A and B are shown apart, each in its own frame.
Chain A
Amino acid sequence: MAADLWTALFIAILTAFTGYEVISRVPTLLHTPLMSGSNFIHGIVLVGGIVALGFATTDLERAVGFVAVVMGAMNVTGGYAVTERILAMFDRAKKGGTKP
């Protein structure tokens, strides 16, 4: 049982270095979209919400699990739409910039 926790800990340590490396040289310009994008990625919490609600047995667990799913789903779709909108403007900028 504890072995799973150790495995998760090793994974977490390696992931932390990955996260640090992946964005260590990012221009200021991208701070906002990147914050918004990483905000979307932790929407993976929805998966946890589905598991929590999917295995809930009492009414109280179901109620709290339902709250988790609603909030997690908002994090996912809202986070995606916001990031999409911010980045869409960068695209238009590039097109606008090439005009004489």
Chain B
Amino acid sequence: MTSIAQYIVDAVYVVAIIVFILGLKAMSSPSTARRGIVYAGAAMLIAVVVTFLSPNLSNFAWIALGIAIGGGGGYYWAKVVKMTAMPQMVAIFNGMGGGAAAAIAAVELLTSMRGATAYLSVAGAIIGSISISGSVIAFLKLQDWMPSKAIVLPARQVVNFAVLIIAVGFGIYAVGWLHAEYLALFYTFLVLYGILLTLPIGGADMPVVISLFNALTGIAVGLDGFALVNGPLGDAGYAMVIAGVLVGAAGSLLTILMARAMNRSVGNVFFGAFGATEETGGPTGTLRPIDATDAAVLMEYAGEVVIAPGYGMAVAQAQQKVKELADLLEAKGVTVKFAIHPVAGRMPGHMNVLLAEAGISYDKLFDRDEINNEFPSVDVVLVIGANDVVNPAARRKGSPLEGMPILDVDKAKTVIVIKRGKGKGFAGIENELFYQDNCRMLYGDAQAAVGQLVTALKQS
């Protein structure tokens, strides 16, 4: 049975796995990250090619067509999408992986439902289906194709749990009593569970959610791998076990690290319905507007200006203008620093990436921990489209934001906030900072507002 071709296929899988691990390792350090994805890409390419060429395979035309449609579509979509949409692209492509894992499990179950392997397929189907339906909801929320606010249904914990139990029940019944016709119901209830699980999660928590679904897809792929090791091309199964579990473990750790950066637990994200509680007795007072000319003067005569960017800068694509503003201020002898909150924007590192794109040097970017003690001595803080991450309500007990680490910009001498309108932040909570005496509001789209500041500085 083992032909020379088979040995070659196996050897290539071994090489691919080694290169995958080296690639992941390289991706965890800034200086080698770029190399890492190239390694992983090469590993993937040889693994896919060698599988395609392996002996005894049929349905070649269908496989080629599927790869062409999915591969071409995915590549094109990822290339044309705007940089700000990256978080939801990770979500949707992750969902595709989960869907593929669920579909593979379905094929395995349709082929044979005997032995322990069938139950492994059931497990792969459960996790893969939850991953695709949850990821699609995350995608729709981030894309603003559905409200990003937490949607909370009554008695959801009980309902969700019941839906999951019913789904698992159908799965076990289908396999244990060989009723393949119940598989459709099994999948339907799983998809429903994934949707119900994700709906109550507010937009601010999406990075953690996407990361968890990423880890889940990895585990689903690993479980599919288990189911395939006894099949006709068993070593493909081992490759899937290794790559899948690798992502499952790394992804789980990453999820915990991200949740920790927001001072939340993963359980709290999924079962706490964050952002759904309506706060009573919000901040009172008046908002004090400022025009661009006055704001420019304030900054020009400041000793130190700290810029705190957020999602508003990302949507408006204002990073180039921000760089211009920083250069002008520095030319006038003002020290300019950037304060980067770990979860500013929609994903950890989102701001670093955008500012880096604009060519702002790394040594001007400061993490929350590095700069937070400095704020009391800073003359002007310019907040560009950030909201929840600078809301001092997080320091107050009973606030829905309680405990979330924030940038202490409210302690600076003057705070200028560039904001599109009077709306609330992603978490749906009023920002107490805006009502403080030392805070001035500069209304407008981030691109336009920073542009006005640049013009005003050039004229002075």
Asked, given contacts A5-B226, A30-B28, whether A71 binds B97 with beta carbons under 8 Å apart, the answer is yes
Contact A40 B229 (CB under 8 A): no
B310 at the interface (CB under 8 A from A): no
Count contacts on A: residues with CB < 8 A to the other chain.
89
Q: Which of A7, A46, A81 has the most CB of B within 10 A?
A: A46
Contact A65 B58 (CB under 8 A): no
B52 at the interface (CB under 8 A from A): yes
Interface residues on B, range: 35 or more
B162 at the interface (CB under 8 A from A): no
Contact A73 B232 (CB under 8 A): no
Asked, given contacts A47-B239, A50-B57, A90-B33, whether A4 binds B229 with beta carbons under 8 Å apart, the answer is yes
Within 8 Å by CB of B101, from A20, A45, A80, A83, lies: A45
In the bound complex, residues from chain A placing their C-beta under 8 Å from that of B359 are: 92-93, 96-97, 99
In the bound complex, residues from chain B placing their C-beta under 8 Å from that of A29 are: 30, 348-349, 352
Asked, given contacts A38-B24, A49-B66, A52-B107, whether A74 binds B214 with beta carbons under 8 Å apart, the answer is no
Find residues 22-75 in chain B having any chain A CB closer than 8 Å to their own CB: 23-25, 27-30, 33-34, 36-37, 40-41, 44, 47-48, 51-52, 54, 56-60, 62-63, 65-75
In the bound complex, residues from chain B placing their C-beta under 8 Å from that of A54 are: 54, 56-60, 63, 233
Give the distance to chain A from B36, nearest Cβ to Cβ, in Å: 6
Find residues 7-57 in chain A having any chain B CB closer than 8 Å to their own CB: 7-9, 11-12, 15-20, 22-57
In the bound complex, residues from chain A placing their C-beta under 8 Å from that of B56 are: 54-55
Asked, given contacts A53-B66, A66-B66, A93-B362, whether A37 binds B37 with beta carbons under 8 Å apart, the answer is yes
Find residues 174-222 in chain B having any chain A CB closer than 8 Å to their own CB: 207, 210-211, 214, 217-218, 221-222
In the bound complex, residues from chain A placing their C-beta under 8 Å from that of B129 are: none
Residue on A with the closest CB to B237?
A: A8
Give the distance in Å from the alpha carbon of A23 to the alpha carbon of B60 in the complex.
38
Give the distance to chain B from A56, nearest Cβ to Cβ, in Å: 6
In the bound complex, residues from chain B placing their C-beta under 8 Å from that of A23 are: 24, 28, 250, 253-254
Give the distance to chain B from A99, nearest Cβ to Cβ, in Å: 7
B404 at the interface (CB under 8 A from A): no
B77 at the interface (CB under 8 A from A): yes
Contact B74 A15 (CB under 8 A): no
Contact B241 A50 (CB under 8 A): no
Contact A33 B33 (CB under 8 A): yes
Give the distance to chain B from A48, nearest Cβ to Cβ, in Å: 5
Contact B100 A48 (CB under 8 A): yes
Contact A72 B97 (CB under 8 A): yes
Q: Which of A1, A23, A26, A39 has the most CB of B within 10 A?
A: A39
Find residues 240-260 in chain B having any chain A CB closer than 8 Å to their own CB: 240-251, 253-254, 257-258
Within 8 Å by CB of A74, from B73, B244, B353, lies: B73
Contact A2 B116 (CB under 8 A): yes
Contact B348 A28 (CB under 8 A): yes
Q: Which residues of A contact B (CB under 8 A)?
A: 1-2, 4-5, 7-9, 11-12, 15-20, 22-58, 60-62, 64-94, 96-97, 99
Given contacts A30-B29, A51-B233, A57-B111, 11 further A-B contacts (CB under 8 A): A11-B245, A23-B250, A33-B37, A38-B24, A38-B250, A41-B218, A55-B231, A67-B100, A68-B100, A93-B362, A96-B356
18 pairs from A and B in contact (CB 8 Å cutoff): A5-B120, A8-B238, A15-B242, A18-B246, A19-B247, A24-B253, A28-B367, A30-B33, A33-B33, A33-B37, A42-B214, A42-B217, A44-B221, A49-B104, A61-B107, A69-B63, A77-B75, A97-B363
The 4 closest A-B pairs by CB, nearest first: A93-B356, A19-B249, A96-B359, A73-B70
